Amino acid sequence: MELSLDLNRRYTYADYRTWWDNTRRELLHGLIRQMSPAPASVHQEVVGNLYMELRSIVKKHKGKCKVFVAPFDVRLPKNGEKEDDKVDTVVQPDLCIVCDPTKIDRRGCLGVPDFIAEVQSPASSKYDLTEKFNLYEASGVREYWVVFPVGGVQAFLLQPDGKYDNGTLYEEGKAPVSIFDGAEVDLKEIF
């Protein structure tokens, strides 16, 4: 049974935690964003392959970074307000890397990940390239990848002015994972 929620009302993470149905949702500035049902198999295959590559990179760098795959709640607080009834943005990126262990708790991530990747699907493409792009940029995500299942990665890097660069498209060869010095993902391993 699906909950009856007002899509025009603003909610917080405290509200989000009370929703007991199995519907996947995100909150962007308090507004509900319904997520599509389970993604296509090619989407999941790309997510799995990218996870394996990123996990290997993290292990090689022997740091405190961890790789997470959806569903995984990333709560993005504003103005340092971390209380559940103040946080109004909760997203579930396909993949993220968090290098500050103090941001990880039993419910997910409370704070900004260092790296986020969203794998495109017909239902999410515009959302990932506009709303989530703007959200991740404003929140300070250092590296944002938009991954196209047909083969290709558009990598955006946060600049000193707090804005993403124009992005670099990688369609073959290797794509650098810029949050780690010298790290690269072989695109043949992903697609």
Q: Where are the domains of the chain?
A: 39-190
Q: What angle do CA 31, 28, 94 make, to 5 degrees?
A: 130
pLDDT tens readout for residues 65-109: 999 999 999 999 998 899 999 999 999 999 999 999 999 999 999
Q: Quote the mean pLDDT of the chain.
A: 93
**More confident position, 38 or 69:** 69
* Structure-block tokens of residue 85: 């009834």
Is the pLDDT at 37 greater than 80? The verdict is: no
User: For residue 141, what is the enclosing H or E element?
Assistant: none
pLDDT of residue 151: 87
Number of H helices and number of E strands within the chain?
Answer: 5, 14
**Backbone torsion region of residue 79, taken as left when φ is above 0, otherwise alpha when ψ lies between -120 and 50, otherwise beta:** left
Among the ranges given (24-33, 38-47, 81-90), the one the predictor scored with the smallest mean pLDDT: 38-47
Mean pLDDT value of segment 125-140: 92
Is the pLDDT at 119 greater than 80? The verdict is: yes
Is the pLDDT at 1 greater than 70? The verdict is: no
**Backbone torsion region of residue 147, taken as left when φ is above 0, otherwise alpha when ψ lies between -120 and 50, otherwise beta:** beta
**More confident position, 143 or 127:** 143
Is the pLDDT at 38 greater than 80? The verdict is: no
Phi/psi for 165 (5° steps) reads -70, -175
Among the ranges given (21-25, 117-121, 178-182), the one the predictor scored with the smallest mean pLDDT: 21-25
Domain 39-190: which CATH class?
alpha beta
Decide if 145 contacts 154 (C-beta within 8 A).
yes
Band of the pLDDT at 2, cuts 50, 70, 90? low
Mean pLDDT value of segment 22-46: 88
Among 45, 53, 70, 51, smallest CA distance to 132 is for: 70
Q: Model-level pTM greater than 0.85?
A: yes
